[in-house]
Amino acid sequence: MSAPRRRSRRKEEPDEHPDERWMASYMDMVTVLMCMFIVLFAMSTVDQAKFEQLKASLATGFGTEESNTVDTAKGVVVPPSMVDDEEVVDPDADLATQAALEVKDLTVLRDQLQEGLETKGLQDDVRFEIDERGLTIRLVSSEMFFEPDLADLTTQARGVLNVIGPILKPTAYDVSVEGHTAQVRQFTDSALDWELSSSRSVNVLRYLMDPGGIAYNRIKAVGYGESRPLTAGATAEQRAQNRRVDIVVLSGQSEAVRQLMPAIVDGQIVFPEPSGEAGKTEEVLPASNH
């Protein structure tokens, strides 16, 4: 019998690619540690002045008034000395202030016109109104200012315009001369009421320019015919009010400011006394209607 063969023991070769998954966790840990030390180093060298500026800026942006709302900080965070008063502006209050100043200027202008007409005994021929457009000088009852069914100015009309023109001349306001009639509209091809209202407004415009002295680039003429009556026109008196010429001193303020002007004229918006005198808490601007 032949001797049994010995099994050859195969030597195990070492693994060329051992498990290296632990390195990913190690590298993540090292990275986190490095970031932590960088943050600690940065915090140790904070510029205190810049930090205070950032703190004040954030506090100003989030507000300085106390609030009991949930999840809202309380208390005044920004010192008063670090708050710029010019930047803390209430937009609505600013618009109301501009509107109040505009109403005040127009009221002064109205009083000047009223005083000038009173010296001539013509105060009953003119009405005044301050609204969102500006100051309206209303020449009521066309019979006093124009010949019947004509656009020619009467002597009384010239007397009124001789007072109005010189007072409006030095101002910076634009002026709109608007003619109105009270004729019953006829659905025909003729447009006599528009022609008459336009002719009357043009004649008033010409007189305000010469001899009134108002610059041509500040004034315009408009004819509305019977399209914008003041009254229903059911009686002769109402129709007389509709036959008119309005001299409108146009406000140059923005629309947002002009929309607040009627409320100021009516006394719905009031302002505190700046002097703080005892017994006076608010001031109401005078109404404009006479």
Window from 20-24, 116-120, 156-160, 204-208 with minimum mean pLDDT = 20-24
Whether the CB-CB separation of 66 and 74 falls below 8 Å is answered with yes
Looking at residue 208, its pLDDT comes to 96
Please state whether beta strands 126-130 and 134-140 pair in parallel, antiparallel, or not at all (unpaired): antiparallel
**Which range, 61-70, 96-105, 227-236, 277-286, has the best average confidence (pLDDT)?**
96-105
Q: Tell the residue number behind the tokens 């100051």, with chain if given.
A: 135
The predicted model gives 152-178 an average pLDDT of 94
Looking at residue 287, its pLDDT comes to 43
Q: At residue 282, does pLDDT exceed 80?
A: no
Please state whether beta strands 174-180 and 219-223 pair in parallel, antiparallel, or not at all (unpaired): parallel
Better-scored residue on pLDDT, 20 or 89? 20
Model confidence at 265, pLDDT cuts 50, 70, 90, reads very high
Cα separation of 6 and 129, whole Å?
Answer: 128
Peptide bond into 211 cis (omega under 30): yes
The predicted model gives 45-58 an average pLDDT of 69
Whether the CB-CB separation of 245 and 177 falls below 8 Å is answered with yes
pLDDT, tens digit (0-9, with 9 covering 90-100), for 204-226? 999 999 999 999 999 999 999 88
Alpha helices by DSSP H, the chain: 22-44, 48-62, 91-120, 155-168, 192-209, 236-242, 255-258, 261-265
Looking at residue 66, its pLDDT comes to 47
Fold of 92-265: 60s Ribosomal Protein L30; Chain: A; (3.30.1330)
Looking at residue 280, its pLDDT comes to 42
Q: Would you state the structure tokens that stand for residue 131, as one six-digit string? A: 């609204």
Whether the CB-CB separation of 102 and 253 falls below 8 Å is answered with yes
Looking at residue 279, its pLDDT comes to 40
**pTM of this prediction exceeds 0.85:** no
pLDDT, tens digit (0-9, with 9 covering 90-100), for 101-118? 999 999 999 999 999 999
pLDDT, tens digit (0-9, with 9 covering 90-100), for 185-205? 554 555 678 888 999 999 999
Cα separation of 159 and 262, whole Å?
Answer: 30
Number of H helices, E strands in the chain: 8, 5
Model confidence at 289, pLDDT cuts 50, 70, 90, reads very low
Cα separation of 174 and 214, whole Å?
Answer: 9
Better-scored residue on pLDDT, 151 or 205? 205
